[in-house]
Structure 1
Amino acid sequence: MESIDQIDDTHNHWKVKIGGVEREFDAEITEQHPDERVAWKSVDGTSHAGVVTFHKLSDTSSRVAVQIDWAPEGLIEKAGDLLNFDQRSVKKDLAHFKEFIESRPSETGAWRGDVPRD
């Protein structure tokens, strides 16, 4: 994960890089419940969807789980998928994200409203 930029309350722009392949796409938040769950799907280009769930374990720690559905394209991405580069990259990014969240005394300045699932 290179970056995710918030465009408005339910839309964001992603920049990802896995195995040397870079992609950019826009996504829509399809469900959001602060401190519990965020789900999204791409709205252009790359077929990409996922959900992140947050489970409070104590006042200072949490479990973060992610499920991402995407379709590798081209030889490099398909080879990377077979070698689990995508899974290792997501696991690494998730560990950094968890560390970042747990080190903050409160949420960052992004919009944290509720988005019910359609």
Structure 2
Amino acid sequence: MNTVEQSIDVEVPVHVAYNQWTQFKTFPRFMDGVKRVEQTQAALTHWVTRIGGRTVEFDAEIVEQVPDRLLRWEALDPPRHTGTVSFESLGDDRCRVTLRLEAEGTPRLRERVGAALGLVTRWADGSLRCFKEFVEGQGRETGHWRGEISGSHVRPGTHHHKPQVPTWPIG
């Protein structure tokens, strides 16, 4: 098993960082090589990436999601991997975001993946730094989903936020 784990402290409340991470369509704005992420179902995402000059598409299933704590997924297609992003409050306006990626395979594949771990480590570190810059620059999340997923079973969120309707001055 090859594992990469990177953390970063972010100057926003934990719920802001978590809420932003659930907005998969914004991933191309802070993840190098990610061209598009579509959430096709509550627990299923489709990724289009550009890796080493090749376009790679894969589906990933969200197997666990707990608001303000963690999101865990499994890639259903190559490149096969699992990942977890966890969120830890460090006080009122700060939190720690930790990204963990794991890949399994044959000894030959592990050797090739092992050689690439330096690249994956740099990618994870760069993605977290860009996420920090993105969410701190926004100062708030661009959206949210507060549901829970356990064992791929989806339970919609109980926190319903009423959308704000803009009011325009009558001119």
Same fold (TM over 0.5): yes
- Counterparts of 1:22 and 1:80 in 2: how far apart (Å)? 21
Partner of 2:56 in structure 1? 23
**Offset, 1:17:** 3.4
| C-alpha distance after superposition, 1:63-86 (max 9, x if no partner) | 110111236998xx758605x111
Q: Conserved in 2, the CA contact under 8 Å of 1:60 and 1:102? A: no
RMSD: 2.8
Match of 1:101 among 135, 138, 144: 135
Identical pairs, percent = 36
Larger strand percent: 1
Is 1:32 paired with 2:55? no
Greater Cα shift, 52-61 or 94-103? 94-103
- Counterparts of 1:60 and 1:32 in 2: how far apart (Å)? 22
Amino acid at match of 1:47: R
How does the TM-score come out when normalised to structure 2? 0.55
Partner of 2:121 in structure 1? 87
After TM superposition, list the pairs within 5 Å mapping 1:1-118 onto structure 2.
1=31, 2=34, 3-70=36-103, 78=113, 81=116, 84-117=118-151
- Counterparts of 2:91 and 2:138 in 1: how far apart (Å)? 14
Gaps of 5+ in 1: none
User: In terms of Rg, which structure is larger?
Assistant: 2
- Counterparts of 1:69 and 1:109 in 2: how far apart (Å)? 28
- Counterparts of 1:93 and 1:117 in 2: how far apart (Å)? 27
- Counterparts of 1:5 and 1:114 in 2: how far apart (Å)? 19
Q: Conserved in 2, the CA contact under 8 Å of 1:56 and 1:62? A: yes
Q: Conserved in 2, the CA contact under 8 Å of 1:55 and 1:62? A: yes
How does the TM-score come out when normalised to structure 1? 0.76
- Counterparts of 1:35 and 1:102 in 2: how far apart (Å)? 17
